[in-house]
Amino acid sequence: MMSVFGTVQPGYEAVREAFAVGQEGDAGDAQLAVYRDGRMVVDLWSGSWSGDSAVILMSCTKGMMATCVHMLAQQGRLDIDATVTTYWPEFSAADVTVRHLLTHSAGLPGFARSTGIDAEKILDWDACTEVLAAADPLWKPGTAYRYHSLTFGHLVGEVIRRITGQTPGQFFRSSVAEPLGLSLWLGLPADEESRVEPIFSTNPLPSVDETLAQLASFGIDVTEPVLRTVMEDRQAGEAAGSLFNSREGHAAEIPAANGIGNARSLARMYAALMGEVDGVRLLTPDQAAVAAVPQTDDLPAAGEFARIPTPHPLRFALGYEAPRPGNPMLGSSSFGHTGLGGRLSFADPDSGIAVGYTCTNGSWNVYEGADPRWLPWLDALRTTL
């Protein structure tokens, strides 16, 4: 069986065993941390890692940004139903609200190739936000949704910057990470670089060209604007893949994807959304309840995506993911966010459980159901509870 290191509190021994089962045969390293009612009860890692090692978190970063938005809302500095132009006057789509940004229903799911935002330009904050400020939504905001895989971070991040005067990474650091003592960054300092482990994938997604050819064979119109824009964004993401293992990529702020940290810190942050952790609580019970309400159940997929059979469709609350078959978390009260390849972070208010799971091998395909590495220890957690 896979060697596992770290500790569990009495009663959580089965979680340790299940974590080892889930990692058996995995080519990479992983971490699992669990808090219950504000106290760490599981702190495990496998392979050559330590519990203090860090890794790119991919879209778990979106949960970090959602947390910032809800903190600003409860401080009275942000109205989720206000238009984006309230805070960002240069933003031209006057009917897009902050809620639309948080629920991936704003109609701005990608940087079209014509805008010039490519693998190099994605590091240029001003270039990215200027393009988004001038863009026309590809559907009427709030009437459909499609995952804003990269643009979510710049859209939400610029709203945070306009309100606070800080970059989203600076605001997260001062308002979330420092009060909780987290090893969690958006924009990694140079003196933390040695802690970061490189990522890879033994199960990469099909290329954009392969995907388009398959969709075309099903009779899908691959020239339709929403689908085309999303695929162009994916193509730029493929080209930018090496950035995620570079100092340049770690130092930048790409708030949809390049947060860096470890499982301990993810779990601790989500624990502080539900209750006090060493005297720090991030959200009030009312704000946490608002954040977790599913928002997209009655919305169709946008454009040609409505015609593509999707056995495990994404489901969103306000900035966080809501439970679904491909990401069951611990049940209907859970909210959090996955990251491309298998990173996972969430809170479950009904049980008081908060989870962080990180991995170096991004082998999980979001379209194939839940990551098999998660399932043993999720089952063990349910049994323990």
Q: Which residues are tagged catalytic?
A: 59
- Round to whole Å and give the CA distance between 359 and 68: 24
Q: How far is 383 from 375, CA to CA, in rounded Å?
A: 12
Q: What span, in angstroms and rounded, lies between the C-alpha atoms of 258 and 172?
A: 13
CA angle 243, 246, 248 (to 5 degrees): 85
Cα 55 to Cα 58, 122, 264, 303, 377, distances in angstroms: 9, 20, 12, 34, 21
Terminal-residue alpha carbon distance, the chain? 25
3-state helix, strand, coil in the chain (%, to 5): 40, 15, 45
Max Cα–Cα distance, the chain, nearest Å: 57
Q: Is the dihedral of CA 355, 356, 362, 366 positive or negative?
A: positive
φ, ψ for residue 195 (rounded to 5)? -80, -15
* In contact, 133 and 117? CB cutoff 8 Å: no
Alpha-carbon distance 146 to 133, whole Å? 19
Q: Are the CB atoms for 374 and 334 separated by under 8 Å? A: no
Tell me whether residue 118 is exposed, middle or buried, using C-beta atoms within 10 angstroms of its C-beta: 0 to 12, 13 to 18, 19 or more.
Answer: middle
Residue 62: phi and psi, rounded to 5, are: -60, -35
Of 260, 268, 233, 263, nearest to 244 (Cα)?
260
Contact 226, 146 (CB under 8 A): yes
Structure tokens at 350: 């009904």
- Residue of 21, 240, 147 lying closest to 32 (CA atoms): 21
Measured in degrees and rounded to the nearest 5, phi and psi for residue 40 equal: -70, 130
